[in-house]
Structure 1
Amino acid sequence: MSASTHVADSLPDPLSRERSHPSPDHHPSSTALRAERDHLAASRAALRGMREDVEALDISDVTANWVNAAVLEHQIELRIKALADLSGTPLFFGRLDYLQTPGTQETEGPEGERFYIGRRHVHDADGDPMVIDWRAPVSQPFYRASKKDPMDIALRRRFGYTGGDLTAFEDEHLSDPAEAARASKLLQHEIERPRVGPMRDIVATIQPEQDEIVRSGLSGTLCVQGGPGTGKTAVGLHRVAYLLYAHRERLARTGTLVIGPNRSFLHYIEQVLPALGELTVRQATVDDLVAHVEVRGTDDAAAALVKGDARMARVLRRAVYAHVSMPAEPVVVVRGSRRWRVPAYELEDIVRELLDRDIRYGAARDALPQRIAHAVLVQMERSGEAPDDRVQDAVARGSAVKAAVKAVWPQVDPAKLVLRLLSDADFLAVHAEGVLSAEEQKAILWARPARSVKSAKWSPADAVLIDEATDIVERTPSLGHVVLDEAQDLSPMQYRAVGRRCTTGSATVLGDLAQGTTPWATRSWPEALAHLGKPDAVIEELTAGFRVPTDVITYASRLLPHIAPGLTPVASVRENPGFFDLRRITDATEVVRACQELLHHEGSLGLIAADPRIPALTEALTEAGLTHLTPGDETTPETRLTLVPASLAKGLEYDYVVLDEPQAVVDAEPDERTGLRRLYVALTRAVSGLTVTHTAPLPPQLS
């Protein structure tokens, strides 16, 4: 696409804000830039007016009770926050001028119109739009129009900002065949802009293939395979924002959830949706979702593999329904002077019918007393009585029926059930027969059985088992949409835990098979989606890299044949090849020196190392007087250095990275393949430059 860039130097006196093209008497870039700055100022004033209108609302005579008043007050507070004019965040980043057909009269629709595209809708006092929300249909050509398909756009303008001030713009005349296509300089500048602090939105730089994913419908589940720097996390978050715009009423009822791998990652991304005006999306880890018990223990790899296997769902289901026993005695109900007898064979028919219906254990247990009571009412009616629903309810609540239900279909405590499975070898053997081998059963049995749920040292995998058992007993509430990031590290049982949170909704699954660093890492997306309960999900692949420089991703991609054969390498689209340095060193002081050199550049710096190396590097940084942060605490602009254990690097990004001792990263993992995947993650965290320091030989896969 053709592009011409205008940058502010000196500006003439204020000019009219008319929408006509600047006259030949004025310097075109200065005139147009001043007009755009005027529109920005007017838009900010309009946004301020919108916020003041909401703040001035009087609801004292609107609500009937204090509950409704509290709800309305909360909604107003959220609306005021959503209308905040964030400092340093451009109110609009683009402009679309639609084609005007010569000789036509003004008609409904965008023909001949001009729209400013921004993070939220802004209108003036008369209700006329000054900024159009990027999610609106009329904004779509900003992301998808091209010289090949202009989508009725005459001109697309991108704006450049410095510290919140509009300082440049770039025009693309999409409908002019005389202008050659070339890359957007402002787009490249925005992509390569230094990262300091939490993750920011990419709303100004969304690419056509990303926009197709963002604007996909709510009804279907989407899986996005994307290598490092392809923007899959940002795409997933912007998809949430789009769905809330397009289906706000529905999702307000059912809810949305973003699931990340750890708290550091969630802290890193937590500002993206608020910057887009969305404040109600919940964020959690899988561990948060299944927090039925306090997790104080860990599993070895063998135990974790078995506990995370989808076959455990069969074992748990058997163990739960094993509590149901067939009636051996009749139920005798006394009503006044009469006795009504439901024989054991009839009770058995009722129990078998409930089992055949395949409903939740708890729901069937709740239905059983009513079924028994109904059998009594049938006898009453045959004898000439005319009982009503109140009589049936009374019979169902009677002591005889309660006793029968307790004996036939007792209550099940999910945590106690899992405790018994992991503590009692005989109980486990009965319910795992034909499902788990003897070796697998032995692997998950506790060496020291716990006496109670509270005293047990539950592991994260145990908590997932309890969540599965809980769902067998009682249905887990479903949300309208769930975004699952870094999904490649989930076990099949964890996929099931997430899937039951969106059984009646949809999901966006984000991940990279090459970055799976758990023993149970995902082998294929169709297999993972089947465990999630979404086998018909559409799988999309992002291969264009916008974050990692060419030289860095090329070096890291040497590992792909060893960790994910057949996966398409990421192709960096950045013009800047980036900075890459490979250094043989003698001790930790040279690692510190590498950090000091990179701190002379603008932006954030991450020192990534194998977890066992962190204490020694902490000491070396302290001795050198270099203050540093831990992952998730990158909110202090004054401290730009973060010391990152390799196990926590996934999903994070830094302008510059020093990677210490690659072979140590590999050796810290239980097997070489997992170690190489962990190394691949660490190598691809840099946005502008990477320095690799090592005393030991590099892994041969990097040769």
Structure 2
Amino acid sequence: MSNKPKDLELEDERTSQKQYTEVLMARARKPSAYQGPRNSTWVGGKLPKKREIRSGELVGRVALIRPDEEILDGEADFYIGETYANINGINVFGWTAPIACTFFRGSDHHYMCDDVAVVRAFSRQNGQIVDFIDEALRADAPEDPFKKRALTIPAPPKPPSLPTLPPAVTDRASRPNTIPEEALDSHPASTSKETGGPTEELPPLRAEGLLRAQMLAPRTKSLAPVLSTLQPDQYSLVTIPAMDSVIIEGQPGTGKTIVASHRAAYLVNEETPPENGLDGDVLLVGPTAGYSRHVRQVVARLTGDTERVKVLSVHELADLIIGGKKSPHGGVSRSYQDVDWRLAKFSRSAIVRLKAAKGVTPTPEQVYEYLRSHSGIVTPEKDWSLYLRQLPPYKKALTQRVHAPLVAFIKWEIARPTELANIEHVIVDEAQDVTPLEWLLLDEINEADAWTVLGDLHQRRSDHTLGDWAQVLEVIAIDPETPIRQMKRGYRSTKPILDFANRLLPRAARKTHALQDVGPDPAIHKVSPKELDSSVVREVKRLTAEYSTGTVAVISPTPSVIETALRTAGWRTSDRGPQLWEKNGREVTVTSHDAARGLEFDAVVVVEPADFPENFSRKGPLYTALTRGNRELSIVHSSPLPNELRRK
């Protein structure tokens, strides 16, 4: 498009990034009145409050077909970054400001959207811009949409020296993270290229070459913001007003966790339009501690490590409320009664009765023991009365994970922790695994009854969770007409992996829309029981060599057996976590299907599919395990495969 050599343009963009960093660091060092454009249209009529931030990244750039006087003071291009700044006469608008719609192309259009000529998205490695991709959105786009301005920087008062950026790389082939040529090949945005068939409409793609390059790149060991390649449908979901509840449903790898993490950051950002944001805090709840560590880094990067977003797993949330010194252990539920919503009703009844009898608020232990000793008064139902009588003593219940939801609910009703005060929006990821009692606890925490619920009912791992979204809406008592939005395109796994895993689904739900339509077929290794462990170790060796800069996992119903086999083969646990094993500089994660929820890896070995638990004849846990891989899936088994996976 541009007649200017790309290497020179890259140097210009790196210079702009350096200037942007300097402006934000100076702002953080010396608090001053907020500096923004003279017109406040870009933030919906209200200037954002100043936000202290140490550094920030430019996300991309937008060129218009004609100059804009109202916001851009006669200029025709601007950047999108993490927060507002002005660098050498060019505006940088924050990614949550309404004008960012011109870059992300969401459904809530800004008036400038119709004038967008070219959108540029940056590719980065280790925080540095290493490449970019330009997309022309109209036939009359100028040949040189991003013109260089003369450098005019006032002399600063001797700030501390900044780290020196690496020298420019002029040889495109030598840049380690340039966009691969295969990713830049033409990929028309038609449904026939992605396996949904030509008649089903999919949302449009943006920055497609950069997106495909990211999908081909090795998975990193932590989740990172994806603002450069955030897709239009994802952006539209992220930017739904805070007080509007929504259910977001999608198969594995459709980007639900990306939406959850970026939405949490969006809701508390100072540059988010007031009508879309909120005054209180956000609670983001995920399935595991590994997930919360994974996502917490993204939220911190997007928000400047704000305290307004709490990221916790369901278990971490219960532990925080209970406030014990040690986390309880054991399974999560043995029967539906362990997690049924009626336990909340019984607990409240006990609190009312104890208050009336004693004249003071009872302790959590007194309430719990009242349920055990006065079960016939609390409920006339014989099966429930028997269940309550058989509960273990309070101090023992504190050590058992199965009773944590009940104890946490009682504790919340009596002594709410200040850390969870002022929660006005709750985001629940992997929501299909939240139990009725946990939903009621979350409902009590949620002061404004605003929700973002994300999940995939096909991945339910327990019969004790709710079977459809209508039941969820009923339990948390919000509008039964709350919209359900579908995420259809799969970004993470290849078509062969999804096609194989989707054999476990009902026929009507097997359709796949994989962006990665090419990849190796799942490798199935049938071995004898005596060869099982050694075969798994052999696959680990192969895959960790193949994906030496990426991530590999073994998912098994019995991880301890695999750990023993790895230890015998010379592997050792890592200091960075008990699930991570190391040998000769290579790493593999050994985990269960429960702990793998919400995570992704380049390659996955699934061991003994027939031994994964079922619920109501559904194979949700196995389905979750099979869909954790981004590039390659290997099955090692000695028992016969489930019937669905044997079919060719």
- The answer to whether TM tops 0.5 is yes
Give the conservation status (yes or no) of the 8 Å contact 1:199–1:271. Answer: yes
Give the conservation status (yes or no) of the 8 Å contact 1:592–1:621. Answer: yes
Separation of aligned partners in 2, 1:413 and 1:269: 35
User: CA separation of 1:158/1:297 partners in 2, compared to 1, >3 Å: closer, same or farther?
Assistant: closer
What amino acid is the match of 1:646?
A: H
Separation of aligned partners in 2, 1:567 and 1:670: 18
Instruction: Give the alignment partner of residue 104 of structure 2, picking from 137, 143, 147.
Output: 143
| Correspondence list, 1:191-210, <5 A | 191-210=215-234
What amino acid is the match of 2:447?
A: T
Q: Deviations over 1:36-84 (max 9, x none)?
A: 322322322331243134224599xxxxxxxxxxxxxxx99x93xx323
Q: Deviations over 1:488-547 (max 9, x none)?
A: 111111001011111325221111111111231220112112212333432212121001
Give the conservation status (yes or no) of the 8 Å contact 1:268–1:632. Answer: no
What amino acid is the match of 2:591?
A: V
Separation of aligned partners in 2, 1:301 and 1:289: 17
Q: Deviations over 1:126-145 (max 9, x none)?
A: 7x445332222222122227
Q: Deviations over 1:423-476 (max 9, x none)?
A: x2xx1122211xx4x2343244337x53xx445555445343344345555788
Pair 1:41-2:15 in alignment = yes
Pair 1:108-2:85 in alignment = no
Separation of aligned partners in 1, 2:544 and 2:246: 40
Q: In the alignment, which residue of structure 2 is the partner of 1:485?
A: 429
Separation of aligned partners in 2, 1:301 and 1:119: 43
Q: In the alignment, which residue of structure 2 is the partner of 1:384?
A: none
Q: In the alignment, which residue of structure 2 is the partner of 1:285?
A: 313
Give the conservation status (yes or no) of the 8 Å contact 1:628–1:642. Answer: no
> 1:575 Cα shift?
4.0
Q: Deviations over 1:208-249 (max 9, x none)?
A: 211111110011112111210011011011111222225598
Separation of aligned partners in 1, 2:139 and 2:18: 33
Q: In the alignment, which residue of structure 1 is the partner of 2:177?
A: none
% same residue: 23
Instruction: Give the alignment partner of residue 462 of structure 1, picking from 390, 400, 403.
Output: 403
| Correspondence list, 1:301-312, <5 A | 301-303=333-335, 305-312=336-343
Which range moves more in the overlay, 676-685 or 528-537? Answer: 528-537
Q: In the alignment, which residue of structure 2 is the partner of 1:609?
A: 555
User: CA separation of 1:302/1:233 partners in 2, compared to 1, >3 Å: closer, same or farther?
Assistant: same
Q: In the alignment, which residue of structure 1 is the partner of 2:361?
A: 411
Q: In the alignment, which residue of structure 2 is the partner of 1:620?
A: 565
Separation of aligned partners in 1, 2:187 and 2:593: 42
Instruction: Give the alignment partner of residue 95 of structure 1, picking from 54, 61, 77.
Output: 61
What amino acid is the match of 2:475?
A: H
Q: In the alignment, which residue of structure 1 is the partner of 2:454?
A: 510
Separation of aligned partners in 1, 2:248 and 2:453: 6
Q: In the alignment, which residue of structure 1 is the partner of 2:55?
A: 84
Separation of aligned partners in 1, 2:543 and 2:123: 26
Q: In the alignment, which residue of structure 2 is the partner of 1:221?
A: 245
Pair 1:270-2:296 in alignment = yes
What amino acid is the match of 1:288?
A: E
> Secondary structure of 1:646's partner?
coil
> Secondary structure of 1:546's partner?
strand
Pair 1:642-2:589 in alignment = yes
Q: Deviations over 1:170-196 (max 9, x none)?
A: 332211189998363222112332112
Indicate the structure (1 or 2) with the bigger Cα radius of gyration.
Answer: 1
Instruction: Give the alignment partner of residue 681 of structure 1, picking from 611, 624, 628.
Output: 624
User: CA separation of 1:33/1:132 partners in 2, compared to 1, >3 Å: closer, same or farther?
Assistant: farther
User: CA separation of 1:268/1:162 partners in 2, compared to 1, >3 Å: closer, same or farther?
Assistant: closer
Give the conservation status (yes or no) of the 8 Å contact 1:197–1:635. Answer: no
User: CA separation of 1:632/1:117 partners in 2, compared to 1, >3 Å: closer, same or farther?
Assistant: farther
Separation of aligned partners in 2, 1:520 and 1:624: 39
Q: Greater RCO between the two (CA within 8 Å, min separation 6)?
A: 1
Structure 1 or 2: more helix by fraction: 1
User: CA separation of 1:56/1:302 partners in 2, compared to 1, >3 Å: closer, same or farther?
Assistant: closer
What amino acid is the match of 2:63?
A: D
Which range moves more in the overlay, 582-591 or 598-607? Answer: 598-607
Give the conservation status (yes or no) of the 8 Å contact 2:60–2:80. Answer: yes
Pair 1:160-2:134 in alignment = no
> Secondary structure of 2:227's partner?
coil
Q: In the alignment, which residue of structure 2 is the partner of 1:375?
A: none
Instruction: Give the alignment partner of residue 533 of structure 1, picking from 463, 471, 477.
Output: 477
Give the conservation status (yes or no) of the 8 Å contact 2:608–2:636. Answer: yes
Separation of aligned partners in 2, 1:302 and 1:258: 26
What amino acid is the match of 1:556?
A: A
Separation of aligned partners in 1, 2:525 and 2:565: 18
What amino acid is the match of 1:222?
A: V
Give the conservation status (yes or no) of the 8 Å contact 1:214–1:238. Answer: yes
Separation of aligned partners in 2, 1:314 and 1:182: 55
Separation of aligned partners in 2, 1:307 and 1:496: 14
Q: In the alignment, which residue of structure 2 is the partner of 1:580?
A: 522
> 1:649 Cα shift?
1.1
User: CA separation of 1:237/1:300 partners in 2, compared to 1, >3 Å: closer, same or farther?
Assistant: closer
Instruction: Give the alignment partner of residue 138 of structure 2, picking from 149, 156, 175.
Output: 175
Q: In the alignment, which residue of structure 1 is the partner of 2:176?
A: none
Separation of aligned partners in 2, 1:598 and 1:550: 19
Separation of aligned partners in 1, 2:323 and 2:134: 58
What amino acid is the match of 1:272?
A: V
> Secondary structure of 2:371's partner?
helix
Separation of aligned partners in 1, 2:234 and 2:32: 42
User: CA separation of 1:693/1:314 partners in 2, compared to 1, >3 Å: closer, same or farther?
Assistant: same
Give the conservation status (yes or no) of the 8 Å contact 1:43–1:122. Answer: no
User: CA separation of 1:195/1:298 partners in 2, compared to 1, >3 Å: closer, same or farther?
Assistant: closer
User: CA separation of 1:185/1:324 partners in 2, compared to 1, >3 Å: closer, same or farther?
Assistant: closer
Give the conservation status (yes or no) of the 8 Å contact 2:551–2:601. Answer: yes
> Secondary structure of 2:60's partner?
strand
> 1:652 Cα shift?
0.9
> Secondary structure of 2:114's partner?
coil
Q: In the alignment, which residue of structure 2 is the partner of 1:320?
A: 351
Give the conservation status (yes or no) of the 8 Å contact 2:222–2:294. Answer: yes
How many residues matched?
A: 548
| Correspondence list, 1:347-366, <5 A | none
Separation of aligned partners in 1, 2:61 and 2:323: 53
Separation of aligned partners in 1, 2:238 and 2:541: 40
What amino acid is the match of 1:680?
A: Y
Instruction: Give the alignment partner of residue 211 of structure 1, picking from 223, 235, 242.
Output: 235
> Secondary structure of 2:493's partner?
coil
Q: In the alignment, which residue of structure 1 is the partner of 2:94?
A: 133
Q: In the alignment, which residue of structure 2 is the partner of 1:430?
A: 377
User: CA separation of 1:114/1:58 partners in 2, compared to 1, >3 Å: closer, same or farther?
Assistant: closer
User: CA separation of 1:300/1:210 partners in 2, compared to 1, >3 Å: closer, same or farther?
Assistant: closer
Pair 1:257-2:287 in alignment = no
User: CA separation of 1:581/1:631 partners in 2, compared to 1, >3 Å: closer, same or farther?
Assistant: farther
Using the size of structure 2 for normalisation, the TM-score is 0.76
Q: In the alignment, which residue of structure 2 is the partner of 1:15?
A: none
